[in-house]
A and B are shown apart, each in its own frame.
Chain A
Amino acid sequence: MSTQQETFDIIAKQAKIDIATIKPESTLKDLGVASLDAIEVIFDLEEHFGVNLPNEDTNFESDTVGHLVDAIDRQLALKSSTQTPSDG
């Protein structure tokens, strides 16, 4: 599964919405995920992908879901580039 699919899956589950309604250009706010629910979605994504998302990348009012997917990919790339060979 791609990062985008996994991300949409987690958002759909947390927001209890049909995954088909999520578009890369929607914001979490558009999807009806605001306040603490949005913070929880970001927490779920961090736990799922094993990354830390900086606050700058998690403005759920103005940033799109596509932006969130990019931010996760950036962190995943960062993680694999800093991994030492012994980490496998």
Chain B
Amino acid sequence: MRRIVITGAGAICALGHDVPTIWKGMTEGRTGIGPVQRIEPGLLRNGGIAAEVRDYDPSSYFDSARLPLLDLVSQYALVAAGEAIRQSGIGFEGERAARTAIVIGTGAGGETTRDEQYERLYREGANRLHPLGIVRMMTNAPASHVSMMHGITGPAFSVSSACASANHAFAQAVMMIRSGLVDTALAGGSEACITLGSMRAWEAMRVLAPDTCRPFSSGRRGIVLGEGAGMYVLETLELAQQRGATILAEVAGCGMSSDAGDIAAPSELGAAAAISTALRDAGMLPAEVDYINAHGTGTMANDSTETRAIHRGFGEHARALAISSTKPMHGHALGAAGALELVAVLGALRDGVVPPTLGYLGPDPACDLDYVPNQARVMPVRAGLSNSFAFGGLNAVVALRRAP
């Protein structure tokens, strides 16, 4: 089987606009959560907090000809993809263009455009909508723009599985490289879901925390939405070595499963199946794993269910794992969640630092593992998992190993 490595990483989220800044924020235990700035105060019912991308000026990334085509979700994907491609040093000339895939996960797609256009239609009674509405809001727009910007002509598409979208996207890219269909892929996720319509819809589900996100902690009260993108350059180990590229980590395997249960309530069995499948796919023994970046949303249901799933997937080794959720820092970025969280796994593997679970007040008997509360931990990490479990019962887990 072809071995696959990561040679470039790019990201943008509430912690910063590039991977070095975000990783530094994670190790310092900074939070990007605060009062929502782009929605008028008073229009939100429950706390009105989110992890927004701050101090972001699109015109410093995109010229005035391209910008009108780009919903925020595509902008974030392009910013992250650009950083990843620069770091990997890869070019897409000649045959490489057609031998490269693009797979981008997104839960909601062009939510900002949708919100703006429907506000014009329903509230303002506008008699015409913007002609670029469709091309901005379509869910595949981020993949299309990455292809156009970088001249990549291989298979490109989006993957949508709510909060597991990025990890599912990652898995699709891995499968395409393994099968020999392509040698290289840009994979990750992007989400820009902090709009009035989307926030109100999440509020109605009664899962938004009014204070902050406290995964696995006593007194946790729910999720805090985030946004941004993470994109990665994946290629065969052989190609990376030929190019003399710096290898950030090896993608050891992926595991996917479906609960076939409830549309919202998570299932321990489904999550455990994805974990076990990822370990098996990676040819990894549970005891080789030192770190799990948990889905850890901060809801009562997810965190206890995920804890039981980790027990089930790891047996006795569960208690030896360092587990953290970085969502109190970058929020829950839905379709971009796994992609942002891979920054944490890559950093842990490379720097031997596990980012903490912020907002931890004290143990909950239903969450009885080591969640690296509040303070980063210096420790060697040989292999790490990134868990994503979506509404709808769709689960995807990615397993990384230190660079060979």
Does A5 interact with chain B (Cβ within 8 Å)? Answer: no
| A68 on the B face (CB < 8 A) | no
The reply on A1 being an interface residue by CB < 8 A is no
Q: Quick check: B206 and A39 within 8 Å, CB to CB?
A: yes
- A42-B206, A43-B204 known; A55 vs B262 contact (CB < 8 Å): no
Q: What residues on A are CB-neighbors of B45 within 8 Å?
A: 52
Residues of A within 8 A of B67 (CB): none
Q: Which residues of B contact A35 (CB under 8 A)?
A: 262, 264-265, 301
- Tell yes or no: B221 within 8 A of A by CB: yes
Chain A positions within 8 Å of B320 at CB level: none
The complex places the Cα of A34 from the Cα of B266 at a distance, in Å, of: 13
- CB-CB contacts of A36-73 with B at 8 A, as 1s and 0s? 10010011000000001001001001000000000000
Q: Which residue of B lies closest to A46 (CB)?
A: B204
Bound-state Cα–Cα, A52 to B203, Å? 12
Q: A52-B45, A55-B46, A55-B210 are in contact. Are A39 and B221 (CB under 8 A)?
A: no
The answer to whether A55 and B221 have CB atoms under 8 Å apart is: yes
User: Per a CB cutoff under 8 Å, which of B46, B205, B222, B300 touches A39?
Assistant: B205
User: Given the complex of chains A and B, what is the CA–CA distance between A35 and B204 in angstroms?
Assistant: 13
What string of 1s and 0s marks CB contacts (under 8 Å) between B183-206 and chain A? 000000000000000000000111
Which residues does chain A contribute within 8 Å of B206, judged by CB atoms?
Answer: 39, 42, 55, 58
Minimum distance in angstroms from A57 CB to a CB of chain B: 11
* Contact, CB under 8 Å: B221 / A36: no
Give Cα A39 to B210, complex, Å. Answer: 17
Q: How far is the CA of A58 from the CA of B221 in the complex (A)?
A: 12
In Å, the complex CA distance between A55 and B47 comes to 11
Instruction: Write out the residue numbers on chain B whose beta carbons fall within 8 Å of the beta carbon of A58.
Output: 206
List B residues 150-180 near A (Cβ within 8 Å).
none
Question: Counting CB contacts under 8 A, is B263 at the interface?
Answer: yes
Q: Which residue of B lies closest to A58 (CB)?
A: B206
CA distance A34 to B262 in the complex (A): 11
**A5 → chain B closest CB, angstroms:** 25
Cβ–Cβ contact B263 & A36, under 8 A = yes
A57, B259: Cα distance in complex, Å:
30
- Min CB distance, B266 to chain A, in Å? 10
A residues 13-27 near B (Cβ < 8 Å) are none
Q: How far is the CB of A80 from chain B (nearest CB, A)?
A: 20
Shortest CB distance B391–A (Å): 10
Chain B 202-222, CB-CB to A under 8 Å as 1, else 0, gives 001110001000000000011
Residues of A within 8 A of B46 (CB): 55
Q: Whole-angstrom distance from the CB of B24 to the nearest CB of chain A?
A: 34
Q: Nearest chain B CB to A3's CB is how many angstroms away?
A: 21
A55 to B204, CA, bound (A): 10
User: A52 CA to B206 CA in the complex, in Å?
Assistant: 12
User: A35–B221 Cα gap in the complex (Å)?
Assistant: 15
B121 to chain A, nearest CB (A): 25
A51 CB to closest chain B CB (Å) equals: 12
A34 touches B210 (CB 8 A): no
> Can you pick out 23 interface pairs between chain A and chain B where the beta carbons lie within 8 Å of each other?
A34-B265, A35-B262, A35-B264, A35-B265, A35-B301, A36-B205, A36-B262, A36-B263, A36-B264, A36-B265, A39-B204, A39-B205, A39-B206, A42-B206, A43-B204, A52-B45, A55-B46, A55-B206, A55-B210, A55-B221, A55-B222, A58-B206, A61-B300
The 9 lowest CB-CB distance pairs between A and B, nearest first, are A35-B265, A36-B264, A35-B264, A39-B206, A55-B206, A35-B262, A39-B205, A58-B206, A36-B263
